[in-house]
A and B are shown apart, each in its own frame.
Chain A
Amino acid sequence: MVELYELTKTYPNGVTALDQISLKIDQGEFVFLMGHSGAGKSTLIRMLIREEWPTSGQIFVASRSLVRMKKKEIPYLRRSVGMIFQDFKLLESRTVEENIAFAMMVVGASSRDIKKRVKAVIHEVGLDGKEHSFPNELSGGEQQRVGIARAIINHPVLLIADEPTGNLDQRTSEEIMELIYDINRAGTTVIMATHAQELVKTARRRVVILDKGKVVADMPPGAYMR
């Protein structure tokens, strides 16, 4: 699903954010991406959706070379990748339903399909009854559910979660994690960047640790004990 070969990113100011990273993530896998701030997690994530361009090396997502990808092909790559964020990134002036439908509308789905699919996804993430609420009327956990619904509505093959529980308390975090596990169980590959060690420990999934732009550990499920 994701293949990186000696991927390197050096910024014009001389900072090397990624240093010859090679990594392979299979379809259906769940991988935690850990490391201190500035270890290269964010750069790697931005690279996966072609927000950044590698200095050298190769990168494949869903068998597509992102290095050779033309600019006009980028939207299609991003449609196959769902993203959720620490700060949810919801549109404050739109309701739950509109926030979720937005993701289908911008890729050109028909209104009939949107209606049907939005209803199903709202149910899937457990937001029934909140369709017409605005983001500021929701708890943090509920807002993240909206974010997740928006991320999965176009059936992505890869879900990238950037600190999805960073703003949530422990109980809410666990609920959100359950939801993400469900999505993974249904076949979607998940890459999740996080600092939450406890959560990673109990999750018993593959863990990749970055430090100063290098992969310093790649542990199989259950090996991360801290």
Chain B
Amino acid sequence: MKTTFRRQSAYYYSEAFKSIRRNGFLSLATVTTVTVSLFILGVAILLVLNISSYLQGLADDVEISAFVDQTYTDEQALALRDQLLRLNGVEEVDFVSREEAMDSMQTRYSSSGYDLEETLESNPLPNSYRIKASDPQNVQALAQQIAGMEGFYRVNYGQDIVEKLFAITKGVRWGGGCIVGMTILGAVFLIGINIRLSIFARRKEIYLMKLIGARDGFITRPFYIEGIFLAVMGAIIAAIILMGGYEFLLREWTNTSYAMLFPLISDHNLLFRCYGILLAAGLLLGWLGTAISVRRFMDV
């Protein structure tokens, strides 16, 4: 049994590599196409990841401001804190007293030389709370909930910012997805042509194998090896280029002043998972391209 297996797998591989050599130029073109399409996929993934993490960072800073009814005393206003903390999805609650609000406004206007207290005579600002949601996606729902509570007359949050940020993320994902989809389609198509040619070159042999009583698996295995090998080769090359390119970018970027404003992802666990995805995608592409051709062109 063991010798059978060894002899047969030797056969599978020798047939597969004979085909790759015979198809020489096309094999090269296939590997290149897979490399290009998976490289684009990789770039898209890294881009989306970076933009998402950047936007997440922005969205994390979006806070809800809830203004306490002016009729409430300071004690009553402070008591609202516990109610807020009891809400679902609340991460942090900060009380801002009227005096603190005034101070911070004064600081903002100090450069213009105004003395607000003098101008206004009394402090018109209400007590308020700054609330942070544990999930930025929940900000809107949470804000509405707070607005419905007794004791608050007005709730503000960065509606526009939050919604815009998520729209941008969505757009980036869609656009990237379309480009990636098209290049992957091209890669599968080329792998398919490659396998189709290999099948064509060996059609007499395939017919004979069928007549002699070879199982379908025996006949198709060399083609799967060929298709998957080419695709994984392409994937490995794409991953190496991407890895090298990103590491280079990371090094250069951290030396610039932009790095603070727009930090790049440098979590290597996450990055290696990205490169792993490329290899898995290569495997899948190879399998898919081969399967399509084998199914269409090997019915004897």
Contacts and interface: CB of A to CB of B under 8 A. Distances in A.
Interface of A: 49, 51, 72, 74-80, 83, 89, 91, 102-103, 105-112, 150, 154
B3 A111 contact: yes
Given A105-B8, A108-B4, A110-B4, A154 B204 contact: no
A106 B212 contact: yes
B213 A154 contact: yes
Interface of B: 1, 3-4, 7-8, 11, 204-205, 207-216, 218-219, 300
Given A91-B208, A105-B8, A107-B214, 14 more contacts: A51-B211, A72-B216, A74-B213, A75-B214, A75-B216, A78-B212, A105-B7, A106-B219, A108-B4, A109-B4, A110-B1, A110-B7, A111-B7, A150-B212
A89 B204 contact: yes
Contacts of A75: 210, 213-216
14 contacts: A75-B216, A76-B213, A77-B213, A78-B210, A78-B213, A89-B207, A89-B208, A91-B208, A102-B208, A106-B218, A106-B219, A108-B8, A108-B218, A154-B212
B101 to A, nearest CB: 78
Contacts of A77: 213
A85 to B, nearest CB: 9
A188 to B, nearest CB: 16
Contacts of B218: 106, 108
Contact of A105 (B1, B11, B210, B219): B11
B205 A51 contact: no
A48 to B, nearest CB: 11
Nearest to B8: A108
Chain B interface mostly: helix
B212 A107 contact: yes
Q: Which of B11, B207, B210 neighbours the largest number of chain A CB atoms within 10 Å of its CB?
A: B210
A83 B213 contact: no
Contacts of A76: 213
B7 A78 contact: no
A89 B205 CA distance: 9
B1 to A, nearest CB: 8
Contacts of A150: 212
Contacts of B215: 72, 75
Contacts of B209: 106
A103 B205 contact: no
Contacts of B8: 105, 108
A90 to B, nearest CB: 9
A108 B9 CA distance: 11
B168 to A, nearest CB: 52
Q: Which of A83, A108, A111 neighbours the largest number of chain B CB atoms within 10 Å of its CB?
A: A108
A83 B205 contact: no
A55 B272 CA distance: 58
Nearest to B205: A91
Q: Which 8 A-B pairs have the closest CB atoms?
A: A79-B213, A78-B213, A106-B214, A75-B213, A110-B4, A110-B3, A111-B7, A103-B212
A79 B216 CA distance: 13
Contacts of B7: 105, 110-111
A171 B248 CA distance: 78
A150 to B, nearest CB: 8
A117 to B, nearest CB: 14
A155 to B, nearest CB: 12
Contacts of B4: 108-111
Contacts of A111: 3-4, 7
A62 to B, nearest CB: 13
